[in-house]
Amino acid sequence: MLFGHNSNVKAGDTTFHVQTEDRGTANALIDTTVYFNGRVLHRRTNNYFDLLPLNPDSEQLLKQRLDEQHRAVVEEIRTRALHLSLPQESKPSPSAGVSNAPAVPKVLTLVLINAKSWLAGKRATLDVSVQNRDSGEAVNHARVVARVDGAADSNEFKTETGIDGRAQLEFDVPKLSGAEPALVIEAFDGDAKGHLRFQLRARPKVPAAS
């Protein structure tokens, strides 16, 4: 079971959006992100490897940890214990000039948010988050591509992230034919890229009656 919270938090005249999510047992991370007008200002991530494999008792402990992490960040914003630097509207955007371009191409971090529930029958629904690994900022208009290596066909499924760095892909999973089929998700933003790879298990064939 995946847990999460979304809260709008006001500090003075400024309203922030706080989102805390369980990234699923494939990642085993509790991730809290603070947004202002769609821009990531702060991220706090803690793992829960010690609770795996999950059972009813450890799921309850996971929920308590997630609740506490969300509450702590919200309280730190309200009391201004958490220093958040607001973007200055007078500054040029990163796309406005080469002076803001990093010297080394940035690396993208991809997270499959619904890692435990992306497949229903033969229908795949991928909820993907893309961030700049160095700054933690959500990446808008990143190109997201998914495919199944080892499938009978080589179709690719494409979309773009929104202002929150999130994207969704839906498609029917093709018939698996390779020895080691895998779901591959890639993201591209200029020279930056990132990828995820999940090994798939082909369903065993039922022997034909003789």
| Domain range summary for the chain, segments of one domain joined by + | 4-78, 105-199
Other beta carbons less than 10 A from residue 161's beta carbon: 23
Other beta carbons less than 10 A from residue 207's beta carbon: 6
* Matching residue, tokens 């509790």: 30
Fold classification of 4-78 is Beta-lactamase Inhibitory Protein; Chain:B, domain 1 (3.30.1450)
Q: Tens digits of per-residue pLDDT, 142-159?
A: 999 999 888 877 788 999
The model's pTM: 0.50
CATH number of 105-199: 2.60.40.10
Q: Tens digits of per-residue pLDDT, 25-50?
A: 888 899 999 988 878 899 999 999 99
Residue 145, CA distances (Å) to 15, 76, 78, 157, 193 in order: 34, 37, 39, 6, 11
Length of the chain: 210
| Gyration radius from the chain CA atoms | 20
Give me the residues of the chain with pLDDT under 70, please: 1-2, 88-105, 178-179, 202-210
